[in-house]
Chain A
Amino acid sequence: MKIYILNYGLGNIRSIYNAIKKCGYDPKLISKDKIINCDLLIIPGVGSFSEASKIINKKFNIIKKLIKENKIFILGICLGMQIMCQKSNENGNYPGLKIFDGEIKKLPKNISSPIIGWKKTFFKNLKISFLKKYDKKKFYHVHSYYLSSNSKDIKGHIVENRLKIPSIIYKKKYLGLQFHPEKSGENGLCILKDIIKFIKKNYDK
């Protein structure tokens, strides 16, 4: 099981690296635009959509190619999830990787922004049914922009001021988590382990 973590200069790289290690795997950091031969690519992210969009579009053409070829499983975390969507208006208009429908927008005025803290997360019926056991468990969220979309790919959410904010998006070989599993204590480590196990079982080359 080869796991790569995209090191594009924006992200809590060390946290996700340590969490994957703790799960019993040996991830590699990649910071160059070269052929990525792995089973799972993780796109982490702490930063602004505009910066991420600029860097990925300028420096990592390989990722778009991989998506076109539908070759590897990609897990996006926080900003990494957001960048998998169509576009965002954070600091202007910037394109994402366009895997999922929907735009990344500033949280509506009636929601205290940023959303910070451990939030009860609701998991819908997922094809990856093992994730169902995490329904209503708490995961750590920190974000001031959110995915605005009615897409059927949205498989989980949190509730803030009665509004559902998407937390999980999934289709085919693409999974996006708005929360930080690498920062969500034991539950976070368990969900990472389960995701990797799922990929290993279904997609390992």
Chain B
Amino acid sequence: MRIIPKIEIKNNFLIKGINFEGLRKLGNPKKFIEKYYHDGCDEIIISDIVASLYGRNQLFEFIENITESVFIPITLIGGLRSFNDIDNAFNSGADKVGLNSAIIKNPNFLKKATRRYGEANILISIETKKIDGTWKIFYLNGREKTNLNLKDWISKLSDIGFGELLINSIDYDGTQKGPDIDLINEIKSLKINKPIIYSSGIGRYEDITLLNKIFKNQAISISSALHYKKMELKKIYKLIN
């Protein structure tokens, strides 16, 4: 199981909220990333959480700086909406890019991007929440709701092609109360033939043991539990190896 710390950045600070809201500043993101790298994490996801909202990307320089000392895969998410943005991401040292808002507005952009950059390096970030029994798709960090439902959206994305899926449960994000089992079961029932990264709610070592059983060979992304030192990567790897 791949373990991928997720670093959410706003105005140069590592931040973390609960249910994507009530953001708290936690410090210099570089320090956190270097620690996770030295502790042996598989990859890092870096998310610019205001890029889509403000329509600008601010993290290219930051990525350039990070990749001078961190030599594992870095996925950049947030506000990437043109070839120019994606070129900048790769040129600054990112290895994969994550798309969400841009393809909700324009699914054709995904098609064009996979043709140019290959499927393997394109990650799709999904923010979802169950409303009246249906998993609805959101964007802008849970701010904006769409009419899309999870099943149809994933089926549409699969027809176009992509590398991997990052699944965020809006109700569980930042809560550390354990993974959203209901959502994981839904994802498993969709039988997606792609690597999946589950994110949201992971906060205890027993969550890791459980996910390693029910979500074997997939990946998990952890943020607040690592940032607040509630969990240690070295102990996590002991549990799954």
A56 at the interface (CB under 8 A from B): no
Residues in A with CB closer than 8 Å to B163 are 114, 116, 142, 144
In the complex, B116 has a CB within 8 A of chain A: yes
B96 contacts A by Cβ under 8 Å: yes
Are A9 and B72 within 8 A (Cβ)? no
Binds A, one of B63-71, B102-110, B143-151, B199-207: B63-71
Is the Cβ of B67 less than 8 Å from the Cβ of A18? yes
Given contacts A13-B90, A142-B73, contact A116 B120 (CB under 8 A): yes
Contact between B90 and A116, CB atoms less than 8 A apart: no
Number of residues of chain B lying within 8 A (CB) of chain A: 33
B17 on the A face (CB < 8 A): no
Q: Which residues of chain A (5-60) have a CB below 8 Å from chain B?
A: 9-15, 18-19, 21-22, 46-51
In Å, the complex CA distance between A79 and B194 comes to 20
> How distant is B182 from chain A, measured CB to nearest CB, in Å?
24
Q: Say whether, besides A113-B193, A116-B164, A189-B71, A46 and B91 are in contact (CB < 8 Å).
A: no
Q: Are B71 and A19 in contact (CB under 8 A)?
A: yes
Q: Please tell me if B5 contacts chain A, counting CB pairs below 8 Å.
A: no
Contact B71 A142 (CB under 8 A): no
| CB closest residue in chain B, given A116 | B195
Cβ contact within 8 Å between A180 and B193: no
Number of interface residues of A (CB under 8 A): 40
Q: Is the CB of A117 within 8 A of B71?
A: no
User: Which residue among B63, B64, B118 has the maximum number of chain A CB atoms within 10 Å of its CB?
Assistant: B118
Contact with A along B106-132 (1 / 0, CB 8 A): 000000001111111100000000000
| A103 part of interface (Cβ distance < 8 Å) | no
Is A180 in contact with B95, judged by CB distance below 8 angstroms? yes
Interfacial chain A residues near B96, Cβ < 8 Å: 142
Within A107-152, the residues touching B (CB, 8 Å) are: 112-118, 140, 142-145
The answer to whether A71 has its CB under 8 Å from any CB of chain B is: no
Residues from chain A with a CB closer than 8 A to the CB of B37 are: 185
A105 interface contact, C-beta 8 A: no
Tell whether, in the assembled complex, residue B119 and residue A12 are in contact, meaning their CB atoms are under 8 Å apart: no
- Do A10 and B120 touch across chains, with their CB atoms under 8 A apart? no
* A184 interfacial by beta-carbon distance below 8 Å: yes
Confirm or deny: B180 has a beta carbon within 8 angstroms of a beta carbon on chain A. no
Question: Which A residues fall within an 8 A CB radius of B?
Answer: 9-15, 18-19, 21-22, 46-51, 79, 90-91, 112-118, 140, 142-145, 180, 182-186, 188-189
Task: Name 16 extra pairs, CB < 8 A, besides A114-B163, A142-B163.
Answer: A10-B116, A14-B63, A14-B67, A14-B92, A18-B68, A22-B71, A51-B115, A118-B2, A142-B120, A144-B118, A144-B163, A180-B73, A180-B95, A184-B72, A185-B40, A185-B71
- The 5 A-B pairs at the shortest CB distance, nearest first, are namely A14-B93, A114-B120, A48-B118, A144-B120, A116-B195
**B-side interface residues toward A, CB under 8 Å?**
2, 37, 40, 42, 63-64, 67-68, 71-73, 87, 90-96, 114-121, 163-164, 193-195, 219
- 29 A-B pairs with C-beta separation under 8 A: A11-B90, A12-B90, A14-B63, A14-B64, A14-B91, A14-B92, A14-B93, A15-B93, A18-B93, A21-B68, A22-B71, A47-B117, A48-B115, A48-B117, A49-B118, A50-B115, A51-B117, A91-B115, A114-B194, A115-B120, A117-B2, A140-B73, A142-B95, A142-B163, A143-B118, A143-B120, A184-B71, A185-B40, A188-B71
